[in-house]
Amino acid sequence: MSKNTVAARFRRVDVDEYDENKFVDEEEGGENQLGPDEAEVDSLIRQYPSVTRLALQAVLKNPPINTKNQNVKDRAEGLVLKVLSAFKSSDIEKGVQSLDKNSVDLLMKYIYKGFEKPSENSSAVLLQWHEKALAAGGVGSIVRVLTARKTV
Amino acid sequence: MADPPAGQLALSGAECTSGPSKLPRTDLMAVSPQTATLRPYLNAVRATLQAALCLENFSSQVVERHNKPEVEVRSSKELLLQPVVISRNDKEKVLIEGSINSVRVSIAVKQADEIEKILCHKFMRFMMMRAENFFILRRKAVEGYDINVQTQAGGLRHPLHGGDRQGDQRDEAVR
């Protein structure tokens, strides 16, 4: 038997915790991120029913990426879905063209998030948007959605 | 890699239907809401798979000389990609989970009534029981879906042999 039967506490140490190469997910505090402004977006939809890309740009501001509050994320997703459904099929392409690269990536994230909760007609709309956003952003935008550590 | 506009993507044999594929896309939208979503749905799945199927050989970080599909083992968060769903409606969807060396695709097939549910279940069970011969099928489907297709980096390199994973490690040692 081993001589040292007294000091056995070292056996309970979790060595993996102290591994310096261990991957730690960064947890940035994002409690003040509120998501897109609902009032602003609603007013834009009402005021300019034909110029819906203003509403699109407004709703893609302030994405609730860092916050852990699920309600904020759900509310943002609902708002984005509302704006996306308000577009006419022919306007979708122009709407996507008016966005810059980061906004296209963000739009892709929202599209995939919207696919997770399919409702009445949402998937059809989202599929159309997906096609146009893919044409604008390429496969790279999908890769950035897959590899993002923080989802919208 | 240049991405051709969606309208010009080539259709594979499984997706070609005799009639609607010859019509321009705008007519397809007028046919019926159900068929109108089929092509964008398949294109979306294809594009997402194209993005997710970037795999490389990656040995296990936990056990030496082992090569495990990280999407099954889920040993470390840094090796996993975000799981992504593409849904056509609430009954049909595809879940794609990626990782550094493997991808798992879960497919929920449309089952309109009881008889279709039974038929689908029996057919999937038939195929999944013979998963060893298929190489890329998983023996048990993920909760909420009907069938799983899973592939590892080695499997993509030697499609005829269904992935000679041990062979990859032997090759590297020889080189």
Supply the pLDDT for residue B78. Answer: 87
* CA distances in angstroms from B118 to B58, B92, B93, B122, B141, listed in the order given: 39, 16, 19, 6, 16
A117, A26, A33, A102: which is closest to A68 by C-alpha? A33
CB contact B52 to A (< 8 Å): yes
The answer to ipTM > 0.90 is: no
CA distance A114 to chain B (A): 9
* Residue B75 forms contact with A (CB below 8 Å): no
Query: What DSSP state is assigned to residue B106?
Result: E
Per-position pLDDT tens, chain B of length 175: 444 443 333 333 344 444 444 445 554 444 566 678 889 899 999 999 999 988 998 988 888 898 889 999 888 888 999 999 999 888 888 999 999 999 999 999 988 899 999 999 999 999 999 988 888 888 888 888 888 888 887 666 665 554 444 444 444 444 4
Phi/psi of residue B35, nearest 5 degrees: -70, -20
Measured between beta carbons, the chain A residues lying within 8 angstroms of B6 are 131, 134-135
Cβ–Cβ under 8 Å, residues B128 and B122: no
- Residue A136 CA, chain-centre distance (Å), reads 18
A48 vs B: CB within 8 A? no
Burial of B142 (0-12, 13-18, 19+ CB in 10 A): middle
* Residues in CB range of B172: below 8 A, 6 or more apart: none
* Contact (CB<8Å) B93/A115: yes
Do B37 and A123 make contact, defined as CB atoms within 8 angstroms? yes
- Radius of gyration from C-alpha coordinates of chain A: 22
- Of the residues A123, A128, A151, the best mutation for testing chain B's interface (the one with the most B CB atoms within 10 Å of its CB) is A123
| Contacts of residue B153, Cβ cutoff 8 Å, sequence gap at least 6 | B55, B56, B57, B58, B101, B102, B168
pLDDT < 50 positions in chain A: none
Q: What is the pLDDT of residue A3?
A: 65
Q: Which residues of B are less than 8 Å from A127 in CB distance? A: 37, 40-41, 44, 88
Q: How far is CA B81 from CA A58, A94, A109, B41, B144, in A?
A: 29, 31, 13, 21, 20
pLDDT of residue B174: 44
Chain B nearest CA to A105, separation (Å)? 14
Burial of A72 (0-12, 13-18, 19+ CB in 10 A): middle
Judged by a CB distance cut-off of 8 A, whether residue A124 touches chain B is: yes
- Give pLDDT, residue B3: 45
Q: Would you state the pLDDT for residue B76?
A: 85
Q: According to the model, what pLDDT value does residue B105 have?
A: 93
Q: Are strands B147-152 and B93-98 parallel, antiparallel or unpaired?
A: unpaired
Q: Among B6, B78, B98, select the one facing A135 at the smallest CB separation.
A: B6
Q: Which of A130, A131, A148 sits opposite B82 (nearest CB)?
A: A148
CB distance A135–B43 less than 8 Å?
A: no
